[in-house]
Amino acid sequence: MSYPAGTVGGMRADGPPTAAMTYVLIPGAGGSAEYWRLLVDELRRRGRVAVAVGLPAADEHAALPEYADTVRAAVDGHRDVTLVAQSLGAFTAPLVADHPAVRLLVLVNPMIPAPGETAGEWWAATGHAPARAAYAAAQGRDPDADVDLAVDFFHDVPEEVTASMLAAGGPTESPAVFTRPNPLRRWPDVPTRVVSGRDDRFFPLEFQRRLARERLGVAPDELPGGHLLALSEPALLADRLEAYQQQV
């Protein structure tokens, strides 16, 4: 399902980004701001303001509206904001894009939602399971294997970073995020870019290409790395984000 009327890749009419621009970073499942720590360091080295948002994932009553409120509060007080959303965070980002400070959405290895689609419905609607299985088989891995953190997510993340992230732990995802209605009715009229890891085992590249084309009408920009690009390739991801600032 594609979006009605929402211009993807257009430009807002209130001028180019300024040196005061800010990155607001939305995590994926689990809602931990810790996921972004290496990217925050890279962006700050480039002279940028970077705000990593922690979502109320441990609250069993929290769903997309509450997630969006949390991100909106992080955006308040900033200007020229680029929202960067990882994976499941792509369900939250478009709900915040009407904030007047937001100039750009960047979706990283994203679950791109259709209007009104819940995060629980997304898996079957997009054909994720057969796509993941086919990619595993093509790589010589067991296509019927259960999802494994080491195999599917951390396979290209440095060992010390993996150990640190796993030691930090984090909340499990609120089931309400997957079941409560998604208030999104159309894609926001904000420039949107998609970044995909060429080596993503959880959301294989061909799957991401198809989803971005069908749902947003765009081709993803590809980087080396798997699903957790901010941990495996933070410098390359920061470079890609900075390049976008010259395009909007």
For the chain, the structural domain boundaries read 22-244
Q: What number of other Cβ atoms are within 10 A of residue 155's Cβ?
A: 18
What 3-state class would DSSP assign to 158? coil
pLDDT tier for residue 174 given thresholds of 50, 70 and 90: confident
pTM of the entire predicted model: 0.92
22-244 CATH: 3.40.50.1820
Number of H helices, E strands in the chain: 10, 6
- As a whole number of angstroms, the distance between CA 244 and CA 248 comes to 7
pLDDT digits (tens, 9 = 90+) for 11-27: 333 334 445 799 999 99
pLDDT digits (tens, 9 = 90+) for 67-96: 999 999 999 999 999 999 999 999 999 999
pLDDT digits (tens, 9 = 90+) for 53-67: 999 999 999 999 999
pLDDT in the model for residue 20:
74
- As a whole number of angstroms, the distance between CA 203 and CA 111 comes to 9
- As a whole number of angstroms, the distance between CA 92 and CA 77 comes to 19
